[in-house]
C-alpha cells in the first residue's frame, strides 16, 4: 500500500519508519529541505517518559492574572482576534481539574513508556547517532509547597510503573555536582534515574538516511502542501510544490500547521500552537564542559529545561499563546541566558549568534492528550497534538498508527487517543 506521510518532524519521520517496516511504500513530505528542521529542530531534547503531567492543571485558576499580566510569568497569554485561540482556551480550562489531570497523566504515561520501549528496540537495530544518553533527570524546586505537591504526584505515578525519588537539595547536588554552583535556593527535587535525552533533529536525519536505503521510501523535501483533491469522503491526492502525490492512505503530521491543512477538508482540529524558545550552548573549553550538567535538569519555577547533548547544552523554555508570531524577542533569549548564569555560572556563553537562538510551535490539544488514529476523512489518519512531548511520544505514536492502518490489535489501549468530534 502507498502511504503519504505529511510532515517530517519527529512525529512524521517516526511514522514513516514504522510504516516502512510494515512493508508499505512510503512518501514523506515536508516544506523544509531537511527532516526535523521545524519544531523538532530546537526542542528541549529531554526524553521525559515519567514526567508527563499536562499543562492543564487546577493551579491555573489561581494564576490566571499572573499569566496574563506578569512580565515574569513563564507562561504568557496574549489575546488575539483568532476564534481558534478562544475555543482552545475554553477547552483547556475545562481540563483544569484534578480528575482530568489524573486521567491524562495515566494515558500519557502509558504512551510514553510504550514509546521508550519502541525507541530502544529501533535503536538496537539501527545504531543511530544522535547524542543519546540515559543520564536521568532532576526536576528542581525552590519552594517546599511545590516539592510536597510533587511528592504526591510521585506517589500517584508509582502506581503506574514510575520509579522516582524525592530528594533534598544536598542529595540532588550529589547526583549532579554541577548544581553545587547554582545561585538558586533549592529545597529539593524529583530524580528519575531512567530518563533520557537526545538530539531530536539529528535523530530525524539519521532515521531518514537509514530509510533512504529502502526503494519503497521517498523523501520529498522543500515542498509545501498547498492543495488537496478529494474523491467522495476520501482524500485522493495532495499538491506538494509542483507535484501531485496520490496515495491510498495519508497521515497528517504537520504539527501546528495541521489545523490549517485540515480546514481544506472541512475538518476542525482542537490544536493551538504553544510557542517556545531555546538556545544551544557550545561547551568549547574544558571548564565549561566540567561546569555543565550531565543529568537533565528542569527548573520548575522558571519552566526552563537543560539537556546535555555531547559537547553542547540545550536550554529551552517558555510557553506562549501568541498566535503565529514567529519572532524571537531578545527578552526570551535573555531569560534563557540568565537561567544559565544562575544555574551553571562557569559555562561560557559568549555572543547570542553562537547560541543558535530558536523558536518553535508545540502543537497542543486542550487536554494535552495527542490525537492518533482515524478521522472522518475516510483514508486520513491523524498523528498530532503531542505538544511539548513530541520527542518523548513520537515512537509510540508511530507504532499505534502502524497497528491501526494494518488492522492489528494495538499493543496499548488506543482509546484515549482517538479523534472525537
Question: Does residue 279 sit in the same domain as residue 356?
Answer: yes
- CA triplet 150, 397, 39: central angle to 5 degrees? 75
Residue at a domain's end among 324, 345, 364: 364
44 in Cβ contact with 313 (< 8 Å): no
287 in Cβ contact with 400 (< 8 Å): no
Domain tally, the chain: 2
Question: Does residue 139 sit in the same domain as residue 256?
Answer: no
Tell me the pTM.
Answer: 0.96
Task: Look at residue 149 and tell me if it is in a domain.
Answer: yes
Question: Does residue 382 sit in the same domain as residue 241?
Answer: yes
Task: Look at residue 403 and tell me if it is in a domain.
Answer: yes
CA distance 116 to 47: 8
Query: Which of 255, 297, 280, 414 shows the shortest CA–CA distance to 358?
Result: 280
Give the model's confidence band at 416: pLDDT under 50 very low, under 70 low, under 90 confident, else very high.
Answer: very high
Helix (H) and strand (E) counts in the chain: 11, 20
Q: Give residue-wise pLDDT tens across range 2-43.
A: 999 999 999 999 999 999 999 999 999 999 999 999 999 999
Question: Does residue 243 sit in the same domain as residue 304?
Answer: no
CATH code of the domain in which 403 resides: 3.50.50.60
Q: Give residue-wise pLDDT tens across range 88-125.
A: 999 999 999 999 999 999 999 999 999 999 999 999 99
Which residues constitute the domain of residue 148? 46-112+131-196+272-364
Question: Does residue 255 sit in the same domain as residue 393?
Answer: yes
CATH code of the domain in which 68 resides: 3.30.9.10
Question: Does residue 350 sit in the same domain as residue 291?
Answer: yes
Q: Give residue-wise pLDDT tens across range 63-74.
A: 766 776 676 777
Question: Does residue 254 sit in the same domain as residue 174?
Answer: no
* Residue 60 C-alpha from the chain's centroid: 21
CA distance 322 to 333: 17
- CA triplet 290, 294, 295: central angle to 5 degrees? 145
Question: Does residue 217 sit in the same domain as residue 255?
Answer: yes
Question: Does residue 81 sit in the same domain as residue 138?
Answer: yes
CA distance 341 to 177: 16
Task: Look at residue 121 and tell me if it is in a domain.
Answer: no
Question: Does residue 187 sit in the same domain as residue 292?
Answer: yes
At residue 359, the 3 state secondary structure works out as strand
> Which residues are bridge partners to 76 per DSSP?
320
Task: Look at residue 252 and tell me if it is in a domain.
Answer: yes
Amino acid at each position: 500500500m502507498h502511504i503519504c506521510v505529511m510532515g517530517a518532524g519527529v512525529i512524521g519521520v517516526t511514522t514513516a519508519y514504522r510504516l516502512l517496516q510494515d512493508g508499505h511504500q512510503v512518501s514523506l513530505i515536508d516544506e523544509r529541505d531537511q527532516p526535523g528542521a521545524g519544531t523538532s529542530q530546537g526542542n528541549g531534547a529531554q526524553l521525559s517518559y515519567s514526567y508527563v503531567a499536562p499543562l492543564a492543571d487546577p493551579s491555573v485558576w489561581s494564576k490566571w492574572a499572573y499569566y496574563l499580566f506578569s512580565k515574569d510569568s513563564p507562561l504568557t497569554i496574549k489575546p488575539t482576534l483568532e476564534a481558534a485561540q478562544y475555543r482552545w482556551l475554553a477547552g483547556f480550562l475545562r481540563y483544569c481539574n484534578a480528575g482530568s489531570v489524573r486521567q491524562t497523566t495515566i494515558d500519557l504515561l502509558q504512551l510514553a513508556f510504550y514509546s521508550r520501549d519502541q525507541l530502544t528496540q529501533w535503536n538496537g537495530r539501527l545504531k543511530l547517532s544522535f547524542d543519546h544518553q540515559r543520564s536521568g533527570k532532576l526536576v528542581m524546586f525552590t519552594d517546599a509547597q511545590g516539592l510536597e505537591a510533587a511528592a504526591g504526584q510521585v506517589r500517584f505515578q508509582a502506581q503506574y510503573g514510575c520509579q522516582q525519588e524525592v530528594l533534598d537539595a544536598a542529595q540532588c547536588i550529589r547526583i549532579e555536582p554541577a548544581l553545587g554552583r547554582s545561585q538558586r535556593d533549592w529545597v529539593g527535587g524529583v530524580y528519575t534515574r531512567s530518563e533520557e535525552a537526545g538530539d531530536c533533529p539529528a535523530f530525524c536525519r539519521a532515521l531518514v538516511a537509514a530509510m533512504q536505503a529502502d526503494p519503497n521510501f521517498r523523501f520529498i523535501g522543500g515542498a509545501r502542501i498547498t492543495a488537496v483533491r478529494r474523491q467522495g469522503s476520501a482524500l485522493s491526492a495532495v499538491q506538494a510544490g509542483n507535484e501531485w502525490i496520490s496515495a491510498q492512505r495519508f497521515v497528517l503530521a504537520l504539527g501546528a500547521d495541521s489545523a490549517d491543512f485540515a480546514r481544506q477538508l472541512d475538518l476542525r482540529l482542537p490544536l493551538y500552537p504553544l510557542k517556545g524558545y531555546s538556545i544551544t550552548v557550545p561547551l568549547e573549553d574544558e571548564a565549561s564542559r566540567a561546569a555543565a550538567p550531565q543529568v537533565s535538569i528542569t527548573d520548575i519555577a522558571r519552566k526552563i529545561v537543560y539537556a546535555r547533548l555531547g559537547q553542547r547544552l540545550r536550554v529551552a523554555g517558555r510557553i506562549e499563546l501568541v498566535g503565529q508570531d514567529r519572532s524571537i524577542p531578545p527578552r526570551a533569549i535573555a531569560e534563557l541566558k540568565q537561567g544559565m548564569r544562575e544555574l551553571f555560572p562557569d559555562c561560557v556563553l559568549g555572543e547570542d549568534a553562537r547560541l543558535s537562538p530558536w523558536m518553535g510551535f508545540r502543537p497542543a490539544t486542550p487536554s494535552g492528550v495527542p490525537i492518533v488514529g482515524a478521522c472522518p476523512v475516510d483514508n486520513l489518519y491523524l498523528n498530532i497534538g503531542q505538544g511539548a512531548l513530541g520527542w518523548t511520544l513520537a515512537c509510540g505514536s508511530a507504532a499505534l498508527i502502524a497497528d491501526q492502518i494494518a488492522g492489528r490489535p494495538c499493543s496499548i489501549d488506543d482509546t484515549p487517543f482517538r479523534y472525537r468530534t
